[in-house]
Structure 1
Amino acid sequence: MTRNNLFWLAGGLAVAGVVFLIWGISLMNNDIRSHLAANYQEYGRDSDGAKYACTGRPQQVASEIAQAKAPEAQATDRGSEYLRYNDDIVIVGPDAGRPCSIRVEDTDARYSGGGFIFLGPGFTPGSPSGGSGGSPGGPDGSK
């Protein structure tokens, strides 16, 4: 390779490095937890997740959150909105005297333990079909 070709190669690699750096930075804040932390005030935290204060109707707040980052599934039950994401479930509704509260829970820690997985009302499938592990088990399909 000639000296000029090496300069072109080095320049191309430098430009590619800058492009990938900018792309990586843009992906860092692409999860729902960072969005909520940046836009709502946290007022509580426990082993299950974090709670954020919100104003307005839960349906309106859930819609705003869903516009910022689209959920995999969404359901409504008794005045609360449930937004399911890959690793989290966001529950928007009243909480302990607050008319509007946002609760974020980790689905891996909270909803899976090798048994029944419940991600809030309205999500399908609601439970494993049949018996243990989705099949009736035992010889000839019976227990």
Structure 2
Amino acid sequence: MKPRYWFVIAGVTVVIALIVGLVMIFAGGGGARGYVQQNYTRAAHLDIAGDDDNAAYTSPKPPRTVAAEITAKWRPQAQSTDASGVYLRYSDDAVIIQPHGAGSVIHLMDADRAYRHYHSHVGHVWGWSSTRGETFRGGGPGVGK
């Protein structure tokens, strides 16, 4: 009887650990978006107007320092830096870090929208790939050839 008792305890422990892990993953703690949400100060008054998916955060640190903190935890797929700020692209999200007073404003937004909004800053570096693949050239005979 004793060996069964330990298997039950081990099974319950595994289930609890799995539940805790899933809660942590789906509670917004994952990815660059979750990192920014947990480590920087929310500043709704700096959200970009007309963009429901945009959320602004602030940091007293300069943009390059903030970018280094974020990329140390979550490596971006593409990164661009110019005088206006640091632009990080992840699979679904973009993190835009720009000077704001003595610190930074950090904008979290959908990667597609960020590309359209900041194209002049990131178009040469981010590139873009459609969900159909980069070699897709249109449909029908003679189209896009």
- Band the TM-score falls in, shorter-chain normalisation: 0.5 to 0.7
Asked if 1:20 corresponds to 2:24, the answer is no
Give the aligned length. 130
The structure with more radius of gyration: 1
Residues 138, 40 of structure 1: alpha-carbon distance in 2 compared, 3 angstrom cutoff: same
Root-mean-square deviation (CA, aligned residues, Å) is 3.3
Report the 3-state secondary structure (helix = DSSP H, G, I; strand = E; otherwise coil) of the residue aligned with 1:74: strand
Task: Give the alignment partner of residue 49 of structure 1, picking from 33, 54, 68.
Answer: 54
What pairs up with 1:9-88 in 2 under 5 angstroms? 9-27=7-25, 28=27, 29-44=29-44, 45=47, 46=49, 47-88=52-93
Residues 13, 142 of structure 1: alpha-carbon distance in 2 compared, 3 angstrom cutoff: closer
Residues 49, 98 of structure 1: alpha-carbon distance in 2 compared, 3 angstrom cutoff: farther
Contact 1:58 1:79 in 2 (8 A): no
More helix by share: 2
TM-score, normalised via structure 1 length:
0.67
- Counterpart code for 1:10: V
Moved over 4 A (4+): 3-6
Asked if 1:123 corresponds to 2:126, the answer is yes
Alpha-carbon distance between aligned partners in 2 of 1:140 and 1:106, rounded to the nearest angstrom: 33
